[in-house]
Amino acid sequence: MSEALLVTSGKGGVGKSTLAVNLAATLALMDYKTVLVDADTGLRSLDVMLGLENNVVYDLTDVAEGVCKLRQALVHQPEVPGLSMVAAAALRDATSVSREKMKEIVGHLKERYAYVIIDCPAGVDEGFRVAASGADRAIIVTQTDAVCVRDAERVKGLLERAGVTDVMLAINRARREKLKKGQESACESIARRLELPLIGIVGENDAFLNAVQKGRPLVLDDADMKATFEEIVRRLRGEELPVKPLGKLSFWQWLMKDYRDY
Ligand SMILES: Nc1ncnc2c1ncn2[C@@H]1O[C@H](COP(=O)(O)OP(=O)(O)O)[C@@H](O)[C@H]1O
Ligand SMILES: [Mg+2]
């Protein structure tokens, strides 16, 4: 059974594309054939994050408009067998792909791939609705700040209205030293407030930026991050795995923690 999973959030810059790329790479490394669909028409980024910007000939809008066959718009990641992507159009807007076409394209992709990961644009307008129209389930990405959490709450309501009711929460850029000592983790209380199952906590990690520059998903080079995303996949597949708070601070992180907070 294959499924289409939307990675979304209200705000931009929360880490949707980062999480989508690393989740897709992890799924493929775990032998689930996966395709990433960049639904961020006009602001595409997955091609760069996968180091495939020179390999894109056709995009999602071309498929929707019948300029090419779906097969021609699939770009394969040579370093991760089983990982492909469909780029977003660089110079068009969200209305260039209708909700019906998106649903149809995702339906065809589900015939060939175990997972279709749809990277949602920022905002809650037509681009969001187009991206959501193909999805069976969704992961809402949030950071721990109040604005982001309120956005996540709003997006949850909009997903419900779009008919996506199987929704999970991923918290990104969590910083161990910010979570209060001795109290329940801030992440768990956010998940409880949003009434969403917590599928994973991804820590703040400067290496993500480097990974984008190299055009390689971080999970290929960072064993800790790979383990984090493997656990997310296992939860996605129904395993009841407790979400661990972020690992202990290393000695150097502990030494620096008071400075980093300024
Ligand atoms: N866990 C993280 N730690 C550090 N930087 C991150 C993390 N997640 C995302 N970023 C950075 O934040 C920026 C925005 O991320 P991106 O995935 O493009 O967000 P979105 O798709 O939601 O707009 C990028 O520069 C990315 O490298
Ligand atoms: Mg993005």
Helical axes 99-112 vs 126-133, angle rounded to 10°: 30
Ligand 1 nearest atom to the CA of residue 122, by list position: 23
Ligand 1 nearest atom to the CA of residue 12, by list position: 23
Residue from 208, 224, 232 to probe ligand 1 pocket by mutation (most atoms less than 8 Å from CB)? 208
- Cα pseudo-dihedral 105, 106, 112, 118, rounded to 10: 130
Strand 83-86 to 74-76 pairing: antiparallel
pLDDT band (50, 70, 90) for residue 161: very high
% of the chain with per-residue pLDDT over 70: 90
Q: Find the ligand nearest to 21 CA.
A: 1
Domain ranges in the chain are 3-260
Note the pLDDT of residue 175: 82
Query: What 3-state DSSP class applies to 220?
Result: helix
CA 189 → CA 64, 119, 151, 179, 201, distances in Å? 41, 26, 16, 11, 13
Q: Is 205 in the pocket of ligand 1 (CB under 6 A)?
A: yes
pLDDT band (50, 70, 90) for residue 21: very high
Q: Find the ligand nearest to 148 CA.
A: 1
Higher pLDDT among residues 187 and 81, named by residue: 81
pLDDT band (50, 70, 90) for residue 254: low
| CATH topology for the 3-260 domain | Rossmann fold (3.40.50)
Q: Is 217 in the pocket of ligand 1 (CB under 6 A)?
A: no
Residue minimizing CA distance to atom 6 of ligand 1: 208
> What's the mean per-residue pLDDT of the chain?
90
Note the pLDDT of residue 262: 34
Residue from 9, 14, 18, 175 to probe ligand 1 pocket by mutation (most atoms less than 8 Å from CB)? 18
Task: Evaluate whether 163 touches 229 at the Cβ level (below 8 Å).
Answer: no
pLDDT band (50, 70, 90) for residue 241: confident
* 174 membership: H or E segment, kind and range: strand 166-174
Note the pLDDT of residue 178: 64
Residues 6+ apart with CB under 8 A from 91: 42
For residue range 176-203, what is the model confidence (pLDDT) as tens digits? 766 555 445 688 889 999 999 999 999 9
Q: Is 208 in the pocket of ligand 1 (CB under 6 A)?
A: yes
Q: Find the ligand nearest to 200 CA.
A: 1
CA 229 → CA 19, 26, 117, distances in Å? 9, 6, 14
Ligand 1 centre to CA of 65 (Å) is: 31
Residue minimizing CA distance to atom 15 of ligand 1: 15
Note the pLDDT of residue 10: 85
| Threshold 0.95, pTM exceeds | no
pLDDT greater than 80 at residue 260: no
Rounded to an integer, what distance in angstroms lies between the CA atom of residue 200 and that of residue 236?
A: 10
Rounded to an integer, what distance in angstroms lies between the CA atom of residue 72 and that of residue 65?
A: 13
37 φ, ψ (degrees, to nearest 5): -110, 120
Rounded to an integer, what distance in angstroms lies between the CA atom of residue 32 and that of residue 138?
A: 18
For residue range 27-44, what is the model confidence (pLDDT) as tens digits? 999 999 999 999 998 889
